[in-house]
Chains A and B, each alone.
Chain A
C-alpha cells in the first residue's frame, strides 16, 4: 500500500473506494488526483469516449482551448462545491444562484489563465467562489446596516448558527475530524471567517477577542488544518 507522504494516516490508493459523499477527483489534493488519472485509466471518472480528459485539471486545460463539452463536465465536478460555498456565505437562495453563475462563467472566461503549478482546479474554483461570495455580501451589506447587524448579533448566536449549519452539512469525515482538533478559538475564528464570510475585524467583535489574537488564531488554525489534512498546496 502506497502511503501518502503528506499524511501517513491516509493511504494513497489507486482505486480508493470513495464514500458516497465524495464526488470526484477534486476532493483530494491535486497531486493525488493527477496521479489517479495517470495511474488508473479504469477509474470511473467522467471520462469522455476514447479516454478524454478526466481530472478537473485536465478538463480546465481543455476548457482553456474553448472546449464547451469539457466545460460541461467540469461544471458537473465543481458546481456543487461552488454552490455549497456560495450558499453558505451568501445564504439567500436567489443571490447564491446568481453568484454561482457568475463564478462558473468566470471560470470559463479565465480558464486560459489557469496554471496547474498554482494549485488544483477545484481549489482555483473554490477560491474564486469564496471571493465572489464575500464580495457579494460585503457590497450588499454596505447598503444595509452591516455594523448594526453585526453588533446586534451576539457572538454565541452567530457562532452557533454557523457551526450548526456547517456541522450538519460537513460531509467529509476528515475535515470534521481535523476541525475538531483545533482549539476552540482557532475553530471559531476559522469558521466565522470562512463559512461566515466575516472579516477578521468582525470575527474579533463577534468573539469579543482582541484583533491581534484573532489574526494569529486564524493563521494558526489554518496551519493546523493544513497539516491535519495533508495539504501540500
Chain B
C-alpha cells in the first residue's frame, strides 16, 4: 500500500479525481486489495448520500427509457472486471474496440491526408504566427485561448477534416491546457451535431460540441486536462451528444508532445 496514493480512496470514491489521477489511482487499485475494499465501502457510503436525495423524474422519462431498452442490445457477460467498475468497464485484457477503430481510422486518415493533401503536420514555429493572427479576434472573446496562446511553450497542430472543414489545436503542456477550433465544417444533418473527444488512455472523453457548422469564427473548445490526451477527434452524434463516440471520425489528429 503506497500511503500517499492510499489517501486518495476517499476522493476516488466520490469521483473527485481528475482524469490523470484517476488513471494512476486505478492502476494502483488493481494491485492493492485493501484499497479496493475500502473503495467499495466508501462508494456504498456515498451511494447512501445519493439515495437520501431521491427525486421523482418526469413520467415521460420512464416511457423513453422503456422504449429505448427495446432497441439496445445487452453486453455479453464479461469475465473479470476492472476494479474501478466504471460504467463502461471491460473485461480485463479485452481490447477497447473503439480504440482499435480509432487506430485504424487514424492510420487511414494519415495515409489519405499525407498522400492527397500533404497536411497533418505540426506547424512550424513561423506558421504559429499565422495561427495566432487567425485567433486574435476570438482570443479577445475567449480568455482560455488567450491564456494558452500566451504560454511560453505554446504549440499548434492543424488538420483537414475527412469530409471537409479543418481544425486547429493549440496546446501548452506547461499550463496542461489546450484549445481546439474547427473551421468551415460542413453542416450536420438535422438532429446531429459535431462532438469533440479527447483520446488517450482509456475511453474517449467528450470535451464539448462544435457549435458552428459552416462558421469561420468558431467557439473554441477548451481542453482543461491535457495530460493523458494524445489525440483529439470529432464525430457526428445525435443532438445532446453521446457518452462515447458512435460514428466514424471526421477529424482526428495527434497533439504535439
A residues near B (Cβ < 8 Å) are 21, 23, 26-27, 29, 64, 66, 68, 71-72, 75, 79-85, 87-88, 97-98, 100-106, 108-113, 115, 118-120, 122-123, 126-132, 134-135, 139-140, 142-143, 145-148, 166, 169-172, 175-176, 179, 190, 193-195, 197-201, 203, 215-216, 218-223, 225-226, 229, 231-233
B47→A111 contact, CB < 8 A: no
Interface flag for B77 (CB, 8 Å): yes
Interface size on B, residues (CB 8 A): 65
Contacts of B7 in A (CB 8 A): 215-216, 219
- Given A27-B51, A64-B74: A233 and B44 interface contact (C-beta under 8 Å): yes
Residue of B11, B43, B53 touching A84 (CB-CB under 8 A): B53
Cα A68 to Cα B74 with chains together (Å) = 11
Interface flag for B2 (CB, 8 Å): no
Interface flag for B135 (CB, 8 Å): no
Cα A147 to Cα B13 with chains together (Å) = 23
A-B contact count (CB 8 A): 235
Residue of A83, A201, A231 touching B57 (CB-CB under 8 A): A83
A171→B50 contact, CB < 8 A: no
B70→A83 contact, CB < 8 A: no
B221→A171 contact, CB < 8 A: no
A199→B44 contact, CB < 8 A: no
Contacts of A171 in B (CB 8 A): 52-54
Contacts of A197 in B (CB 8 A): 15
Interface flag for B16 (CB, 8 Å): yes
Interface flag for B232 (CB, 8 Å): no
